[in-house]
Amino acid sequence: MRSSASKPGRSTSVLPLQWSIASDVAEIEAIVNAVSSACVAAGFAEKVCRLNVPVALTEAIANAIVRGNNSDVSRRVLVCAGIDNGTLCIEVTDEGTGFDLIAVRAMAEAPDWATREDGRGVFLMHALMDKVETWCDRGHTVRLVLRRT
């Protein structure tokens, strides 16, 4: 990530933060706190730092642990985050085979969607982030992108 200053007194570049964790939901909180703190330091709005980022990132990591790695603690989840030029980019990679992002998003239109126990995480990620992408290459990766406004 390149460094660039657009706001006096605030760094807009945060070196990439990386974690490789076991598939244990107890690992999520520390990562979410670190990324949220980086967003505060980079000048993101308070609501974004306290709601959008924590909810979307928690959902992405939880999906990687529970769905991608089937909660198998011997399998790893890699989380990479960085902020450059006012844009937060987070990638969460599990050891799973992935899912069809369009099909999962379409689940929100199903009549039983509100009562289901799954399927809302991807919906929330899309609602809270500017961009959500997914692909498979040495595991399944979800990329969350949020621009500072």
Instruction: Write the pLDDT tens digit of every residue in 102-112.
Output: 666 556 566 76
In this structure, what CATH number is given to the domain that contains residue 107? 3.30.565.10
Q: Is residue 121 in a domain?
A: yes
Q: Mean pLDDT throughout 9-20?
A: 70
Asked whether residue 10 carries a pLDDT value surpassing 80, the answer given is no
From CA 114, how far away is CA 72, in angstroms rounded?
A: 28
Give the residue among 26, 48, 43 at the shortest CA–CA distance from 144: 48
Q: Is residue 31 in a domain?
A: yes
Confidence of residue 121 (pLDDT cuts 50, 70, 90): confident
Q: Is residue 7 in a domain?
A: no
Confidence of residue 60 (pLDDT cuts 50, 70, 90): very high
Q: Is residue 102 in a domain?
A: yes
From CA 146, how far away is CA 129, in angstroms rounded?
A: 5
Task: Supply the pLDDT for residue 11.
Answer: 43
Q: Is residue 18 in a domain?
A: yes
Give the residue among 23, 141, 24, 26 at the shortest CA–CA distance from 90: 141
How many distinct structural domains can be found in the chain? Answer: 1
Q: Is residue 85 in a domain?
A: yes
- Domain coverage including residue 117: 12-147
Q: Is residue 2 in a domain?
A: no
Q: Is residue 32 in a domain?
A: yes
